[in-house]
A and B are shown apart, each in its own frame.
Chain A
Amino acid sequence: MSAPRPRSFDDEALARSLRAGDRHALEATLAALLPDVRRLLARLLGPGAAIDDATQDVLIELAKALRGYEGRASVRTLAYRVTVRHGYRSLARERGRRTVSLELVPPPPDRIDPESRAMSREALSRLYACLDRMPAKRRTAFVLCAIEGLDPADAAEVEGTSAVTMRSRLLHARREIERRLAADPYVGRLVRAANARADEEEDR
């Protein structure tokens, strides 16, 4: 897996423009980063989160950060960093409000959702229920590396930690997911279907 790299930013030139107070450059940068910010927020916070509010908050924070941008990290790394930092705060707030008890005993299979799409959504909600119970840093490592596709070294740069630490968090996150969801019927069906597809492709 490799990190998403800046597509069109000349970071040094951009840093000069932003430091010079170029409003147009700031707006254009925010517009270019918005899809990444929004996608990462959605993945970090999970289904049902107030993504619009979070997006606005991150853009404000990012705009302020960009005003003092000196080009030491890439613009996209900076955007990821600001987004992740906001994600931590949101998760901390949300976690305090969550009822741990509701997640203690997995809800029964929802018999009214026979379609695969509904099954996928249900499995996704199980994944986020599992992520909700992890330490936020472990959750973020999983989102950045396994879902977002960043290399652990790049994710470590976003987080301001070492690649070894990031790999360790990712490993623990994966183990925790495997352990918690091993007996989940929805997830089990999903994995069996994925493996069956892989077998078919291999046969072809």
Chain B
Amino acid sequence: MSGEHSIADTLAALARREPTPQLDPDAAARMIARATEEAEAPPVGARRGPWIVAGVAAAIAAAALVALVVSPGAPAPSAPPTAGRAAPPATHLRLPSGDELAIGAGARFELGGSDDARRVELTEGHIAFDVRPLEAHEGFEVHTPHLVARVVGTVFTVDATAAGSTVRVYEGRVEVAHDGEIAIVAAGEALRAGAGPADRDDPLMELARAAAARRAARPAEAAPSAPVADGPPAPAPDAAPASDELRRAPPRVAARSVEPEDGTPAVTLALARRWLVDGQYERALAAAQDALRSSESGEWRMVEGDALRGAGRAREAVAAYERAAEGPRRVQAGYLIAQLRADRLADPTGALDALERYGASAPGSPLAERALRLRHRLLSATGRAEEAARTAAEYVARFPEGPAAEALARASGAPP
């Protein structure tokens, strides 16, 4: 494409013209008042809400019990932790959510978030986390100045200094966002951001190993509900994580792999997805099929489907997505089935059926906006005008700022 305007310039100009979502003056005033209040509040602010209040209160009441739960034989806590510096040598905290923390001496941290989106801000120090398996709607994140570790239900430690942070995983998997990229760190692996601390003789690592071993002895509880932990089998949980530095990925990479502990080449989901992004479909397909030979996994089925779709093998991709839809990625897989049936297999009826069956447009679906657009298009294409108009009206009601809102408002007969 030649001419005076490049694609990037044209789109940048378009983005500049896009109006900022409106904020009414009352809402703005409330936001400013709240920000001012929080800035003037003590470090554990009012915004932290019931979760932190309950967490600290529970810590006071339960600290002694927690020591038994987390680590039989470990030193009893000398003081209940709140935000700020923990007392040496290791303080144990059980949160109302059931998560357990062993906090190293001198750790500076803050608890925040809500019941469903729990969050620990670790400024400095070492904490071992034994996070109970999370439901699909729950999240647990640890933020350091260098990285964000997102948990699925696992045992791991985060060690932060001014120079860097290290995440070590003892059981399950953790997603780590660092420097604008995402890495999946599995059991037996470690990730360092910046000059993250190396392994050291620290009782927290023993505690984490013990917690992982207990978790492994409770297989039903160890089963994660979120997709990331649904990958290939993890190494034995009693192994100490390696402290290998991450391999530097090529510049365009959006996810990085981690050296496995024993040096054996392993294809992680993140690596397979990177191949998909890079268009290496056959390679990703081979990795997925290899992983699926040892165990069924919704995530690897998705990779298989994506690879087949990318390679133009639409029917096989639909079959893979149908298997994936039996797991936690039901909605995403269902939407992709519908899209393939609609656009590659000339099967609008099957596409509509898939949208309905897998709930892609249901309230709460992350793909509802796209699914409603697709449903409207399919209904219009198959001559089902009344249903198409109803879908258009539903779209406008649920997504008044959606990209197709204006057009669908006209299609539904409602004012835009």
Interface contact A112-B407, CB-CB below 8 Å? yes
List, in ascending order, chain A residues with CB within 8 A of B370's CB: 107
6 residue pairs A–B, Cβ–Cβ below 8 Å? A26-B39, A52-B21, A93-B150, A96-B175, A114-B407, A147-B16
Among candidates B15, B45, B310, B377, residue contacting A127 with C-beta atoms closer than 8 Å: B15
List, in ascending order, chain B residues with CB within 8 A of A30's CB: 32, 35-36
Does A78 reach chain B (CB closer than 8 Å)? no
Among candidates A99, A118, A139, A142, residue contacting B406 with C-beta atoms closer than 8 Å: A118
Given contacts A55-B31, A99-B332, contact A194 B10 (CB under 8 A): yes
A-contacting residues, B1-47, CB 8 Å: 1, 3-16, 18, 20-21, 23, 27-28, 31-36, 38-40, 45, 47
List, in ascending order, chain B residues with CB within 8 A of A124's CB: 11, 14-15, 18, 403
Given contacts A124-B14, A177-B11, A191-B5, contact A101 B332 (CB under 8 A): yes
Mask, A74-87, CB within 8 Å of B = 1, is: 00000000000000
A-contacting residues, B98-156, CB 8 Å: 141, 143, 148, 150
Taking the nearest CB of chain A, how far is it from the CB of B312, in angstroms? 9
Taking the nearest CB of chain A, how far is it from the CB of B304, in angstroms? 10
Taking the nearest CB of chain B, how far is it from the CB of A94, in angstroms? 10
Tell me, in angstroms, the Cα distance from A27 to B177 when the chains sit together: 33
Interface contact B148-A92, CB-CB below 8 Å? yes
Range class of the B interface residue count: 35 or more
Interface contact B11-A123, CB-CB below 8 Å? yes
Taking the nearest CB of chain B, how far is it from the CB of A93, in angstroms? 7
Taking the nearest CB of chain A, how far is it from the CB of B314, in angstroms? 10
Interface contact B15-A190, CB-CB below 8 Å? no
List, in ascending order, chain B residues with CB within 8 A of A126's CB: 11
Interface contact A52-B27, CB-CB below 8 Å? yes
Tell me, in angstroms, the Cα distance from A194 to B9 when the chains sit together: 10
Interface contact B4-A105, CB-CB below 8 Å? no
Interface contact A123-B373, CB-CB below 8 Å? no
Does A15 reach chain B (CB closer than 8 Å)? no
Taking the nearest CB of chain A, how far is it from the CB of B302, in angstroms? 6
Among all A-B residue pairs, the 9 with the closest Cβ atoms: A136-B180, A92-B177, A63-B39, A59-B35, A195-B3, A101-B306, A146-B12, A63-B35, A121-B403
Does A113 reach chain B (CB closer than 8 Å)? yes
Given contacts A93-B150, A105-B310, A198-B5, contact A100 B32 (CB under 8 A): no
A-contacting residues, B305-327, CB 8 Å: 305-306, 309-310
Tell me, in angstroms, the Cα distance from A66 to B15 when the chains sit together: 30
List, in ascending order, chain B residues with CB within 8 A of A113's CB: 403-404, 407
List, in ascending order, chain A residues with CB within 8 A of B18's CB: 42-43, 47, 124
Given contacts A51-B21, A182-B1, contact A59 B277 (CB under 8 A): no
B-contacting residues, A28-78, CB 8 Å: 30-31, 34-35, 38-39, 42-43, 47-48, 51-52, 55-56, 59-60, 62-64, 66-67
List, in ascending order, chain A residues with CB within 8 A of B1's CB: 182, 188, 191-192
List, in ascending order, chain B residues with CB within 8 A of A104's CB: 276-277, 306, 309-310
Does B339 reach chain A (CB closer than 8 Å)? yes
List, in ascending order, chain A residues with CB within 8 A of B404's CB: 110, 112-113, 118, 121
Among candidates B28, B253, B366, residue contacting A34 with C-beta atoms closer than 8 Å: B28
Tell me, in angstroms, the Cα distance from A114 to B162 when the chains sit together: 54
Among candidates B7, B28, B175, B408, residue contacting A31 with C-beta atoms closer than 8 Å: B28
B-contacting residues, A179-204, CB 8 Å: 181-182, 187-188, 190-192, 194-195, 198-199
Interface contact B180-A60, CB-CB below 8 Å? no
Q: Which residue of B lies closest to A42 (CB)?
A: B20
Tell me, in angstroms, the Cα distance from A67 to B12 when the chains sit together: 35
Q: How many A-B residue pairs have CB under 8 A?
A: 216
Q: Besides the contacts A42-B18, A191-B6, what 17 more A-B pairs have beta carbons closer than 8 Å?
A: A26-B39, A30-B32, A31-B28, A47-B18, A55-B23, A56-B34, A60-B39, A93-B177, A95-B254, A99-B332, A101-B302, A107-B343, A113-B403, A120-B14, A146-B12, A177-B8, A194-B13
List, in ascending order, chain A residues with CB within 8 A of B276's CB: 100-101, 104
Taking the nearest CB of chain A, how far is it from the CB of B191, in angstroms? 14
Interface contact A60-B177, CB-CB below 8 Å? no
Tell me, in angstroms, the Cα distance from A154 to B180 when the chains sit together: 20
A-contacting residues, B265-290, CB 8 Å: 273, 276-277
Among candidates B6, B31, B150, B380, residue contacting A178 with C-beta atoms closer than 8 Å: B6
List, in ascending order, chain B residues with CB within 8 A of A38's CB: 20-21, 23
Does B258 reach chain A (CB closer than 8 Å)? no
Tell me, in angstroms, the Cα distance from A76 to B4 when the chains sit together: 33
Q: Which residue of B lies closest to A180 (CB)?
A: B7
Does B95 reach chain A (CB closer than 8 Å)? no
Taking the nearest CB of chain B, how far is it from the CB of A43, in angstroms? 6
Given contacts A30-B36, A56-B34, contact A96 B28 (CB under 8 A): no
Tell me, in angstroms, the Cα distance from A110 to B372 when the chains sit together: 12
Interface contact A35-B20, CB-CB below 8 Å? yes
Tell me, in angstroms, the Cα distance from A59 to B33 when the chains sit together: 10
Interface contact A31-B32, CB-CB below 8 Å? yes
Q: Which residue of B lies closest to A91 (CB)?
A: B180
